[in-house]
Amino acid sequence: MFLSFLRHSLPDDILDGYVDIHSHILPAVDDGFPNKEKSLSALRYFQGKGVKAIVLTPHFMNEYPDNTRENISQRFDKLLSDIKDEITVKLYIGGEYMLDSGFERHNNDGFLAIGQSKSVLCETSYMMSDPMAGQMLYNAALNGFTPVIAHPERYVYADSKDYEQWKSFDYKLQLNILSFSGAYGQMAADKALELLDNDMYDYIGTDIHSLDHFVHYIKHIRLKSKQIDKVRRLIENNKSLVEK
């Protein structure tokens, strides 16, 4: 009985075979990695941890008007060319799409989906969502995509009704692994544990913006054994998005 209350660090092999579906490693395109050298450091780190594949998901939002499908694809091809002799981790290009006034344009142009799937990573503002966010998600679904709501635990406005509504439309929820550590505050940590315990998540991502930040906070994660088992199941689910 007592053992069920014990919390543990993540196992050393937790990233072995992992497929990351949310990262900001593509250099110099958003608030993630600023240059190729730092991106390479992160890729070497994950390679050393046994990570199998990483989907690079730069921000597509009004704040970054140059982040078009064409421009991001070109930058991804350049990165692949630069690292081809050094990195064996399989890389895919995707995007994290803000539900803002530019979302419909990206929907019309065609989203950069996650890996081999028709799933598209979506996010809202942390404090409040756009009044048209629900319609935007619905339009993406009508266009044949499955919205994956990024880090729902981080949205201050969101509550159980929001999560249940998203799930009722068969949208998916993606957990940020660092949320457990308090990296985004106690509210996000508490919500992440509640959503995990209630089996609301479908996928898990690093949402890495900085290697130092990631390495620091992942060491602070403490979970019960059953919660670690659930994290492993989410890790297994990720593979379906890049494997046919």
Question: Looking at the whole model, is its pTM more than 0.85?
Answer: yes
Please list, residue by residue across 115-139, b when 16 or more beta carbons sit within 10 angstroms of its beta carbon and e when fewer do. bebebbbbbbeeeebeeebeebbeb
With pLDDT > 70 as the criterion, what percentage of the chain qualifies? 98
Q: In angstroms, rounded to a whole number, what is the distance separating the alpha carbons of residues 188 and 181? A: 9
- 244: confidence class by pLDDT, cuts 50, 70, 90: low
**pLDDT tens track for 28-87:** 999 999 999 999 999 999 999 999 999 999 999 999 999 999 999 999 999 999 998 899
DSSP state at residue 243: -
**Helix-strand-coil split of the chain, %, nearest 5:** 40, 15, 45
Identify the pLDDT of residue 188. Answer: 98
In the chain, the domains with their CATH numbers are 10-241 (3.20.20.140)
Average the pLDDT over 188-203 and give the result: 98
**pLDDT tens track for 150-166:** 999 999 999 999 999 99
| Angle (nearest 5°) at CA 91 between 109 and 244 | 75
Backbone phi and psi for residue 188, each to the nearest 5 degrees, phi listed first: -65, -40
Identify the pLDDT of residue 85. Answer: 85
Identify the pLDDT of residue 3. Answer: 54
Smallest CA-to-CA distance from 164 within 186, 149, 181 is with 149
- 103: confidence class by pLDDT, cuts 50, 70, 90: very high
Identify the pLDDT of residue 4. Answer: 57
Q: Is 64 exposed, middle or buried (0-12, 13-18, 19+ CB in 10 A)?
A: middle
Distance of CA 76 to the CA centre of its chain: 18
Identify the pLDDT of residue 77. Answer: 98
